Chains A and B, each alone.
Chain A
Amino acid sequence: MPEVLSATPGLYPLPDWAKDELAGLKGRQKGGLISGDEGEAIVAAYEQAREEVVDLQTDAGLDLAVEGQLRWDDMLAHPLAVADAVETRGIVRYYDNNNFYREPVVTDDLAASGDVGAELDAASGHVDDGLAAVLPGPYTLADLAADEHYGDSESFLAAVADFLAAEAEQFSDVETLFLLEPSLLESPPGDGADERASEAIDAVASATDADVVAHTYWESHGGDGSLDEKVYAHLLDADIDAVGFDLVADHEGSTYLINEYGCTDDVALGVVDGQNTLVEDTEEVAERVEWTLSNTPGADFETVYATINTPTFYLPSSKFEEKLETLGALELTEVTA
């Protein structure tokens, strides 16, 4: 019987009051977004919002809290958007969603900014224990960015991995690190690149003492709907503690991979839908966890992170809060395998 911990992969919606207040303080245009040197009023608004979303998680009973990443205007590309040696240019679309980000263009040697670490430090004061950090995975971040400095995709991926590793080295008091890797499904690496993607994840994971979850989500439009088998097999070579699966998008494909190729000692199961306002009840979520464990009989997981499948900024605040409560109540339901 594994230990089941309720958690989320971060990237929360701003509370409604903060949507209005920060739009007023920062403006709605490209030039008004986070740059890393915002003024006092903006810092204060984010501080208040951060405390609220950390408290929400505590009140909901989540085992592992995240900072919320409320400052991330560019939802996955944020660490690059605030880094030196990066210019943000046109507005481009995130995958097939109706969400956009400023294209980060790397124009010089990348160096960690410490921005994410500072956010975690600010959040740690509101959490007794069990703080989780969130970063884009190196493959995803390199996929979303443009390179005008390193010259080829191999060097660029390695540089992005080093950059994220240097960010992670600055994290203190972090129990778990979620590396978000949707690009492994949305634009899967081919031969050779799949191995390099794994090495890049390994480089980031090796830079921290925290448990590392490489969290994958969405269905692959380029493949058969699941994480590509070779990509998955290579991912298992990285020094990570858990692979994260999107059970909402593809539960059968995910269990097939686990049964066919094995898995890490721990696993993250995305069992709550982060992109739909239909709120699951806790019993239904528990059944999804149980179904996954009973359909992967060869695996003997030590820790299961029961999570929302994707970041949650897609949701209106009210439904987001209800989903946190559903997930947080999971420990009240017996999960057997």
Chain B
Amino acid sequence: MSNRPADNREQFRPEDHENDNFLLTTVVGSYKKPKWLDRARELYEDPEDGFGDEEWEEAKDDAARLITDEHERSDLDVVVDGEMRRKEMVEYFAHLIDGYEFNGRVKVWGHNYFDKPSVADEVEYGEEWLVDEYEFTSDVADSPVKVPITGPYTLANWTFNEAYDTDEELAYDLAELVNTEIERLVDAGARYIQIDEPALATTPDDHAIVGECLERIVADIPEEVRIGLHVCYGDYSRIYPEVLDYPVDELDLELTNGDYEQIDVFTEPEFTLDLALGVVDNHTAEVESVAEIKENIKQGFKVVPPEQLTISPDCGLKLLPREIAYEKMANMVQAAREVEAELDAGEIDVGYAAPEVSADD
């Protein structure tokens, strides 16, 4: 049985890291696809274009290589491939899981649509999900790689349920599949898994169901594997402090978008997990300055000491122009490194009210 939160953060500190303090920098996952990849998908999906499986695989590999490199150039400590192989966070997995079917697009807002799938039969592990993606990204990256995976609650909640009596039963079955996939990823060498559960914020009354799903997911996952949970949008006071009981190492939150109005939610009772703090806004194309991001990072010290703080954008960057997304990441990393140096120099007054926790713990 895993004991979480676990002490598994130091493995991601770069060997040449300059500061004593270490604010782990990473991203939530999704990233703007190059226009040529969208064009390649259109060609691939049109049977008359003669753009075959081999060409499509090559296009996805090239895009994944490109965006992984873009993440490394921004000096993130932990990178992903920008989810270049995934069209959408539920759709991608639903195509691979037996029991799902697709009936057409539904409205999200305005003229934005989502190919919302239906569960028409009991779900079973079908095709391979993410191991190939992880192995490819690891091969092309020098930095450690994080694997974002859509959580079972969101896979169930953002799906039409035709086959199960309740969405809860569906979520538990999906949790077993996610557990299978994470075990496969761990066997392949993955050491940082992020479970994305944005649906939790929309249905906070179901936090116990998410907790039960997570228990099934992390069962038998070794403690050296870092497990994060990403939740975005919503009223966090309705899921805190219950989320502290979740068997995860890190909770990743969207807070910049709301100008940190909800930061106090996490100060009482004491935040016992690691906090992955959103410090740049993925909803706006204005690049935050390094100085501005540094102030955002300091908001995190109201909740946790530096050794429990991870620095991240609010959410995936897929809706931003690439150059804007890159500048946000680069400024974010620079801000984190400057804050670390100022912490080393004793220039930052950490507001965290738990002096018995030292950096050596």
Asked if A and B bind, the verdict is yes
Chain B residue, CB-CB nearest to A18: B111
Q: Which of B106, B111, B199, B233 is within 8 Å of A22, CB to CB?
A: B111
Residues of B within 8 A of A278 (CB): 118, 160, 162
Q: Which of A22, A32, A33, A316 is within 8 Å of B116, CB to CB?
A: A316
List A residues 56-109 near B (Cβ within 8 Å): 73, 75, 91, 93, 96-101
Q: Which of B160, B161, B203 is within 8 Å of A96, CB to CB?
A: B203
Give the docked Cα–Cα distance between A266 and B111 (Å): 37
Chain A residue, CB-CB nearest to B101: A277
- Known A-B contacts A96-B202, A96-B203; the reply to A13 vs B111 at CB < 8 A is no
Residues of A within 8 A of B199 (CB): 98
Residues of B within 8 A of A32 (CB): 110-111
Residues of B within 8 A of A14 (CB): 107
Structural contact, A221 and B205, CB atoms closer than 8 A: yes
List A residues 1-23 near B (Cβ within 8 Å): 13-14, 16, 19, 22-23
Q: How far is the CB of A250 from chain B (nearest CB, A)?
A: 15
Residues of B within 8 A of A276 (CB): 160-162
- Known A-B contacts A23-B111, A277-B118, A319-B104; the reply to A98 vs B202 at CB < 8 A is yes
Residues of A within 8 A of B113 (CB): 19, 23
Q: Which of B109, B118, B158, B162 is within 8 Å of A101, CB to CB?
A: B109
Structural contact, A100 and B109, CB atoms closer than 8 A: yes
The answer, yes or no, to whether B108 is at the interface (CB within 8 Å) is: yes
Chain A residue, CB-CB nearest to B163: A278
Structural contact, A93 and B233, CB atoms closer than 8 A: yes
Structural contact, A28 and B114, CB atoms closer than 8 A: no
Q: Which of B111, B114, B160 is within 8 Å of A27, CB to CB?
A: B111
The answer, yes or no, to whether B41 is at the interface (CB within 8 Å) is: no
Name B's interface SS: mixed
Residues of A within 8 A of B202 (CB): 93, 96-98
Structural contact, B103 and A319, CB atoms closer than 8 A: yes
Structural contact, B105 and A98, CB atoms closer than 8 A: no
The answer, yes or no, to whether A113 is at the interface (CB within 8 Å) is: no
The answer, yes or no, to whether A313 is at the interface (CB within 8 Å) is: yes
Give the docked Cα–Cα distance between A203 and B111 (Å): 34
The answer, yes or no, to whether B112 is at the interface (CB within 8 Å) is: yes
Give the docked Cα–Cα distance between A275 and B106 (Å): 11
Structural contact, B107 and A277, CB atoms closer than 8 A: no
Structural contact, B104 and A16, CB atoms closer than 8 A: yes
Structural contact, A98 and B112, CB atoms closer than 8 A: no
- Interface footprint category on A: 35 or more
Q: How far is the CB of B39 from chain A (nearest CB, A)?
A: 16
Q: How far is the CB of B306 from chain A (nearest CB, A)?
A: 33
Residue from B106, B108, B199, B233 whose CB has the most chain A CB atoms within 10 Å: B106
Q: How far is the CB of A88 from chain B (nearest CB, A)?
A: 11
Structural contact, A91 and B109, CB atoms closer than 8 A: yes
Give the docked Cα–Cα distance between A315 and B105 (Å): 8
Give the docked Cα–Cα distance between A279 and B114 (Å): 20
Structural contact, A16 and B105, CB atoms closer than 8 A: yes
Give the docked Cα–Cα distance between A91 and B113 (Å): 15
Chain B residue, CB-CB nearest to A317: B104
Structural contact, A315 and B205, CB atoms closer than 8 A: no
Chain A residue, CB-CB nearest to B199: A98
Residues of B within 8 A of A318 (CB): 103-104
- Known A-B contacts A28-B111, A98-B202, A99-B108; the reply to A316 vs B158 at CB < 8 A is no
Structural contact, B110 and A98, CB atoms closer than 8 A: no
Q: How far is the CB of B40 from chain A (nearest CB, A)?
A: 19
Residue from A97, A314, A316 whose CB has the most chain B CB atoms within 10 Å: A316
Chain B residue, CB-CB nearest to A100: B109
Give the docked Cα–Cα distance between A91 and B233 (Å): 12
Structural contact, B110 and A30, CB atoms closer than 8 A: yes
Give the docked Cα–Cα distance between A278 and B233 (Å): 29
Give the docked Cα–Cα distance between A221 and B105 (Å): 28
Chain A residue, CB-CB nearest to B116: A316
Q: Fill in one digit per residue for A271-313: 1 if any B CB lies within 8 Å of its CB, else 0.
A: 0000111100000000000000000000000000000000001
Structural contact, B110 and A28, CB atoms closer than 8 A: yes
Structural contact, B106 and A314, CB atoms closer than 8 A: yes
Q: How far is the CB of A310 from chain B (nearest CB, A)?
A: 13
Structural contact, A313 and B107, CB atoms closer than 8 A: yes
List B residues 100-159 near A (Cβ within 8 Å): 103-114, 116, 118, 158
Residues of B within 8 A of A93 (CB): 202, 233
Q: Which of A19, A75, A97 is within 8 Å of B111, CB to CB?
A: A19
Give the docked Cα–Cα distance between A1 and B114 (Å): 43
Residues of A within 8 A of B104 (CB): 16, 316-319
The answer, yes or no, to whether A26 is at the interface (CB within 8 Å) is: yes
Structural contact, B205 and A98, CB atoms closer than 8 A: no
Structural contact, A33 and B110, CB atoms closer than 8 A: yes
- Known A-B contacts A16-B104, A19-B105, A316-B116; the reply to A73 vs B110 at CB < 8 A is yes
Residue from B112, B113, B199 whose CB has the most chain A CB atoms within 10 Å: B113
Residues of A within 8 A of B203 (CB): 96
Residues of A within 8 A of B107 (CB): 13-14, 75, 99, 313-314
Residues of B within 8 A of A13 (CB): 106-107
Apart from A276-B162, A277-B118, what are 16 other A-B pairs with CB-CB below 8 Å? A13-B107, A16-B104, A19-B111, A22-B111, A23-B111, A93-B202, A99-B108, A99-B109, A101-B109, A275-B160, A276-B160, A313-B107, A314-B106, A315-B106, A316-B106, A319-B104
Query: Can you list 15 A-B contacts (CB < 8 A)?
Result: A28-B112, A75-B107, A93-B233, A98-B202, A100-B108, A275-B160, A276-B162, A277-B160, A278-B118, A314-B107, A316-B103, A316-B106, A316-B116, A318-B103, A319-B103
7 interchain residue pairs of minimum CB distance:
A316-B104, A100-B109, A23-B111, A278-B162, A277-B160, A316-B103, A277-B118
